[in-house]
Amino acid sequence: MKLNERGRRRCQKPCPSEERPGCPAGRGGPAAGTGAAPRRPEAGLLALLHNTSQLDAGGPAGAGHGSHSFITCYYTTTSYPTPPSARCQPRFLLSGDPKVPVLYEVERTRTGKSFSVRSVKAIQHGKPIFICQASFQLSQQSPMRHQFTMPTVPPPEELLTQEELIEKFLQNPNLAEKYRRHLNKIQAEDVPIDIKPVNPPDIFSTEQQEPKQLFWVRARGYIGDTDMKVHCCVAAYISDYAFLGTALLPHRQYNVKFMVSLDHSMWFHAPFRADHWMLYECESPWAGGCRGLVHGRLWRRDGVLAVTCAQEGVIRVEQKPIQSKL
């Protein structure tokens, strides 16, 4: 999906409603019974999500689907007077085709006074490529509250960005050409996220590491104090960055042949600004059977746990040939 100049959701190619019933881009709008969410303006604040769909062009299944499906579900909970808490549990089924529009079908599974549940299906070529169930809770007060303690790390102002770290590697005149090409390719990617690793690893080392990573992350540009659904959707994209790769840190003697997400669940606990620095704490408690499991926590700078994430993916590796990087 793409956004038009008014920030409204539409498919990549306009299609008549009679040809694709229920398509939000169709002239007739959502077909009866599909539960598809109406198109709504976002006051130009979804430029980052527009970039998300562009970055997913190599295969739309991924963070872009999570963001688009989540915001589509969110539009169907407008009866709640305040921004609700939420959880999102997607499942990736098939690779997507970036040349074909994606049809999102939303089912209003349950609408209650405190909780609502929505089910989303992303369809291409008549087949579901992605499914997601999202649950929303009206904000409620409770005396029962606790959370983990945020890790103590240097502030983002004292750390180098990912681009600055790559530049340091590229300044090495003895760097092998294949590594130089790889780093230049990473540097050329237009990723709409500011990233500052807390303990950046030696990317050329084959030594095993503990399966844990810490990043300061934020969306590039200004989003502002807009509706929380925008920040939640941007966080869904941010949380996918290098997440599954955490499971590879103890196995750096291998080359990755194939790696893809199976699911990516998120629980939103507290309000946050996706365009403000947040600490992303990632860890992998288990890997085996060509699968890896990772957990993540997004912390606000004031120590409040804002988002919890979990992801499982398929990871197939092969032994890395032993050779010098110089």
Give pLDDT, residue 70. 65
Q: What is the DSSP string of 35-104?
A: -PPPP---TT--HHHHHHHHHGGG-STTHHHHHHHHHHHHGGGTTSSSPPEEEEEEEE-S---TTS--EE
- The better pLDDT of the pair 75, 247 is held by 247
Would you name the residues annotated as active-site residues? 240, 261, 311
Say what the pLDDT of residue 191 is: 80
- Token duo for residue 286: 């288990």
pLDDT in tens, 24-75: 333 233 333 333 333 332 333 333 344 333 333 333 345 555 566 666 676 6
Give the pLDDT mean for 182-202: 85
What tens digit of pLDDT does each residue of 115-165 get? 889 998 989 999 999 898 988 888 888 899 999 999 999 999 999 998 898
- Supply the pLDDT for residue 160: 95
pLDDT band at 1 (very low <50, low <70, confident <90, very high): very low
Average pLDDT over residues 106-113: 89
| Count of CB atoms situated within 10 Å of the CB of 202 | 11
Where do the domains of the chain lie, and which CATH numbers do they carry? 1-139 (3.10.129.10), 158-326 (3.10.129.10)
Q: What is the mean pLDDT of the chain?
A: 77
Encoded tokens for 258? 């194939």
Q: What is the mean pLDDT of residues 234-254?
A: 90
Q: In this predicted model, which residue has the larger pLDDT, 240 or 64? A: 240
Residue 113's region, left for phi above 0, alpha for psi from -120 to 50, else beta, is alpha
Tell me, what's the pLDDT at 219? 94
Over range 76-85, report the average pLDDT.
60
Q: What is the pLDDT of residues 156-165, one digit of tens each?
A: 999 999 889 8
* Closest among 199, 241, 201 to 217, alpha carbons compared: 241
The position carrying tokens 């103890």 is 250
> From CA 203, how far away is CA 16, in angstroms rounded?
49
DSSP state of 252: T
- 325 and 179 in contact (C-beta within 8 Å)? yes
188 or 197, which is more confident: 197
Query: What is the pLDDT at residue 48?
Result: 37
pLDDT for residue 94 is more than 80: yes
Edge to edge, what strands does the sheet with 278-288 contain? Answer: 103-111, 115-124, 127-137, 85-92, 254-268, 305-319, 291-300, 278-288, 212-219, 193-197
CA dist 118 and 234 (Å) reads: 19
Question: Cα–Cα distance between 234 and 55 in angstroms, integer?
Answer: 13
Give mean pLDDT, residues 72-92: 70
Let me know how long the chain is.
Answer: 326
Percent with pLDDT over 70 in the chain:
72
What integer pLDDT is reported at residue 90 of this predicted model? Answer: 84
Q: Which ranges of 145-296 would DSSP assign to H, the alpha helix?
A: 162-170, 177-188, 228-238
d(CA 95, CA 97): 7
Amino acid at 75: Y
Q: What is the pLDDT of residues 270-308, one digit of tens each?
A: 999 999 999 999 999 999 999 999 999 999 999 999 999
